[in-house]
Amino acid sequence: MSQSLLHRADREQPVDVTAMRATDREADAGDTFDATRHTRAMHLWLLWLGGAVVFAVGQAFTDPKGPVGGLMSFSMPVLFTVGILGGVLVNRPRPRWPWLMLASAGLVTVIGYVVWTSGATTLAFSIFMTVYPLEAIALLLIVRGGSWRQDRAGLLDTAMISVGLGLACWMLVITPLLQVSTDLPGGPLVALFPLGDVLLLSVLVRFFISRGLRNAAFWQISVSLLFQAVTHMASLLPTIFSAGATDVRALSSLSSFLIAAAAFHPSMRTFSGHEPRLATEMSPRRVLLVNLAGMAAPGLLIAQGVLQHGKVGWLAAGVGCILLFALVTLRMIDLVGEVQDKARQLDAVAHIDALTALPNRRAWDLELDRRIAAAQRHGTPVVVAILDLDHFKRFNDEHGHQGGDELLTTAAAAWRAQLRPEDLLARYGGEEFGAIFDHSRLADADRIIERLQAVTPLGQTFSAGAAQWNGTETAEMLLARADAALYSAKRAGRDRVYVSPTR
């Protein structure tokens, strides 16, 4: 529905929604994703998946060190980039630039391969490392839009789980790899590659912590991230355990093909940039993940001690504990803040009149008891007045309920502006308002009420009854005297103020 129509100057008039829909269809005619294009995208998606299976099977039967195997490995990032660009051209997502950013990860990988073949191994692996953050940022922008910055609770929970994953990776994978780094191509830098996999897994955790649109494209990206982490870890673990190398090229290629397949699938249009609903409640799954992250440091110390014959990475575990404690503290502060916000909202609902934004009857009763108690302690005078708009029912009948509501809101605002900071004006009920004048006697209250009469809006008047606390009576007795004075004013013809003599 067109926002320009919703915000037009004559928005007071009823809006023809049918006309608005027709206008929107005409405006979007140049970018309509019709059934023909949807069918074409589905055919391309199926063709792409079929090609991915053929490529992966062929790769499984080729020698990785041979010319064909090398050419297939080099062509994979190129196909990754071409596939995403093709999906963007076919489906035309909005916005497009996160997808283009994701496609650039393939080009960066190609550059890394070129540098690798030139002999600059360390520089090549440095280039390869940049692919991880580039891919992670692009995917967050595609799947979560800008909402990832708004969900503080989700970010903290993701950070806690990521610290746990990172600690496990460091103690059980990276530390052993650093001990045999001389056997790795690229030296110690290769041992840090699992941190990139932790980053991708953190993106995957972020996807599932908040609620969003989970369609075919989303699941393809999620499975791809999982495949990437598994294949990278599987290629490094044989080095740790001195086992034979496992050829995981086919699975690695499938992970790249799956992300490009997500770009080809028509569902990518509906979730690209889609703003998810923030999942602020702590679901059982979320509680379990956060608790597992919190137990990561002591659990990993035990596991490392068993696997490495008593040798433990106390420094990594200590840093991990500090980070987790800091994140848990921030999460608790965030939860306490949410509880306080809810409490303030409930308090406002319970004590504020929704129409006039004045304190309601409940707030009036509490405040009157408090002020009478304070007057009793300090020996100060206090006056209570009840104001009743004259002939409100007739005004309501003539001007409708909206007119009556306008009278109540404008009168409340005008009267409140004339009161002193220590005075209280509340909506007592219906067209009746209550006022408490602290440190005042009847003469003081009368002068204030006279000012209120002068600013009563829309040419209306009110009747008022006032009573000064006698030093011993209860709030109910004081209100009864003010109420009796009000009815005397109304019986006398309205538009006047009656006061109850102090007994």
Question: Nearest CA to 113 among 71, 68, 74, 65?
Answer: 74
Contacts of 211 (CB under 8 A, 6+ apart): 276, 277, 278, 279
Is the CB of residue 384 less than 8 Å from the CB of residue 435? yes
Is the CB of residue 371 less than 8 Å from the CB of residue 382? yes
Higher pLDDT, 350 or 372: 372
The SS3 of residue 380 is coil
- Arithmetic mean of pLDDT, 337-347: 70
Which pLDDT value is given to residue 414? 93
Q: What is the C-alpha end-to-end distance of the chain, expressed in Å?
A: 66
Which pLDDT value is given to residue 480? 92
- Arithmetic mean of pLDDT, 271-285: 56
Contacts of 196 (CB under 8 A, 6+ apart): 129, 131, 132, 133, 232
Arithmetic mean of pLDDT over the chain: 80
In angstroms, the Cα distances linking 177 to 172, 238, 298, 310, 347 are 9, 10, 21, 18, 57
- Arithmetic mean of pLDDT, 233-246: 70
Higher pLDDT, 365 or 340: 365
Q: How confident is the model at residue 14 (pLDDT cuts 50, 70, 90)?
A: very low
Q: Is 80 exceeded by the pLDDT of residue 151? A: no
Residue 252 to residue 389: CA distance in whole angstroms: 77
**Alpha helix ranges (H) inside 210-313:** 216-240, 249-264, 268-271, 284-294, 296-307
Cis previous bond, 238, omega within 30? no
* pLDDT tens digits along 41-92: 899 999 999 999 999 888 888 887 788 888 888 888 999 999 999 999 988 8
Which pLDDT value is given to residue 134? 93
Written as six digits, the tokens of 94 are 């909005």
For CA atoms 171, 174, 175, 176, the dihedral sign is: positive
Residue 460 to residue 392: CA distance in whole angstroms: 9
Which pLDDT value is given to residue 33? 52
Residue 185, Cβ density class (10 Å: 0-12 exposed, 13-18 middle, ≥19 buried): exposed
Which pLDDT value is given to residue 297? 65
Residue 410 to residue 395: CA distance in whole angstroms: 14
Q: How confident is the model at residue 187 (pLDDT cuts 50, 70, 90)?
A: low
* pLDDT tens digits along 297-315: 677 667 767 766 667 666 7
Q: How confident is the model at residue 385 (pLDDT cuts 50, 70, 90)?
A: very high
Residue 422 to residue 419: CA distance in whole angstroms: 8
Q: What are phi and psi of 67, to 5 degrees?
A: -65, -40
Residue 430, Cβ density class (10 Å: 0-12 exposed, 13-18 middle, ≥19 buried): exposed
* pLDDT tens digits along 446-497: 899 999 999 999 889 999 999 999 989 999 999 999 999 999 899 988 888 9
For residue 174, what is the DSSP state?
I
State pTM to two decimals.
Answer: 0.60
Q: Is 70 exceeded by the pLDDT of residue 12? A: no
Q: Is 60 exceeded by the pLDDT of residue 15? A: no
Which pLDDT value is given to residue 362? 87
Written as six digits, the tokens of 72 are 């297939």
Find the range with the poorest average confidence among 273-282, 339-348, 418-427.
Answer: 273-282
The SS3 of residue 253 is helix
Residue 78 to residue 467: CA distance in whole angstroms: 87
In angstroms, the Cα distances linking 75 to 82, 116, 223, 315 are 10, 15, 22, 42
Residue 68 to residue 49: CA distance in whole angstroms: 21
